[in-house]
Structure 1
């Protein structure tokens, strides 16, 4: 799993969250099932960091990412919302931690962003979103 940190429409970092081949737990080195048990606990800290814990059956990983001072971040299951195709040896976006799209009338929408599906790396430009995180996975 990797994460792309996008600020003002530009990818400023693309880093590895975890690589199941290198974590040292044999059962995670190779996909042997059709179910991936993964829980994610996330919050905005008082230091404007998005703290995320990725919990698997036998291990967990906690990461922190820079954020802006707002309580409007929403963690979205992009693979589900955008009906993305998931297959072997093909990268796909699993999650996005996004700010809302603000409409002309002042109302805000997270769903409109999450279900737009295409050009995910361009959401900052398309929807005027200052910051968001994209989590990408690949099953080999």
Structure 2
């Protein structure tokens, strides 16, 4: 399986900008700003993800989040994004290749959040070097 890792520093400014972008209210916990629950979707921007560099459009399929603690301003997260599954299915308009990803973020060795995301490529079967 393919994996990439990235250390991410969560700041009040980043939380504020993301909350504004989705019209979410800012919340605090013990005096620290809490990130909206969907904020890990933008953590992907911090990664260099070689298997997503293929030409053509990607379709967002689904997303799930599982938290063991909230993300708050000042946290430094050690995140690992893994491509956990590649499968091909027949869709109404042809072949679909589904790429399932798991993003796991820890702070101080403790798991904070796991997010599962499915991205879809439409068209001919898309081969992946490790998942042919």
Q: Return the TM-score normalized by structure 1.
A: 0.29
Bigger fraction of residues in strand: 2
| Larger Rg over CA atoms | 2
Q: Return the TM-score normalized by structure 2.
A: 0.30
